[in-house]
């Protein structure tokens, strides 16, 4: 009887822990590649996470050579990015320093894409806040 009670208690605790983890699912994606396969991977991964956990908070940080994925008319993923941004728990942020180096201004960005002063600092800050980290690569 004691074993059964202990087993039931452990099962309840594990279930509670898993549910608590699911409600705090936060991931920051690091996108620095202009490779179209990496762009497709990003869209697929974000979509799969949201399908598995609709409450997840996701942020994509774009800098370096990844810039084109957020510039209107420069990516085949423009429609997919727009659809992702319709979900308010998904954000896409681009490094202002990268934009400046590439002579891109905010008017050239896909609607809903935000800017941050420094993409790497944004990622580090998210990690310090407990966000998971995924580097997009194939």
Which pLDDT score, from 0 to 100, does residue 28 have?
98
Is 12 a domain residue?
A: no
Q: Check which CATH number belongs to the domain holding 116 and give it.
A: 3.40.1260.10
Structure tokens at 52: 């598995």
**Which residue, among 91, 35, 43, 27, has the nearest Cα to 67 in the 3D structure?**
35
Structural domain of 96: 25-135
Give start and end residues of each alpha helix (H) in 23-118: 36-52, 78-85, 96-101
Is 79 a domain residue?
A: yes
Is 15 a domain residue?
A: no
- Tell me the average pLDDT of the chain: 88
> What's the pLDDT tens digit per position in 52-96?
999 999 999 999 999 999 999 999 999 999 999 999 999 999 999
Domain count, the chain: 1
pLDDT, greater one: 3 or 79: 79
Distance CA 114, CA 88 (A): 13
Is 118 a domain residue?
A: yes
Is 8 a domain residue?
A: no
Region 86-111: mean pLDDT is 97
Does 47 score more than 50 pLDDT? yes
Is 1 a domain residue?
A: no
């Amino acid at each position: 009887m004691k074993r059964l009670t202990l087993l039931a208690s452990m099962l309840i605790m594990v279930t509670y822990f898993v549910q608590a983890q699911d409600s705090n699912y936060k991931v920051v994606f690091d996108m620095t590649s202009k490779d179209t396969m990496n762009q497709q991977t990003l869209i697929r991964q974000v979509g799969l996470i949201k399908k598995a956990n609709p409450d997840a908070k996701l942020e994509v940080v774009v800098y370096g050579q990844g810039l084109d994925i957020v510039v209107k008319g420069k990516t085949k993923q423009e429609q997919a990015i727009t659809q992702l941004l319709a979900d308010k728990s998904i954000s896409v942020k681009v490094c202002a320093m990268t934009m400046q180096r590439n002579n891109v201004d905010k008017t050239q960005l896909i609607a809903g894409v935000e800017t941050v002063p420094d993409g790497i600092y944004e990622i580090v800050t998210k990690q310090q806040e407990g966000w998971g980290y995924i580097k997009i690569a194939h």
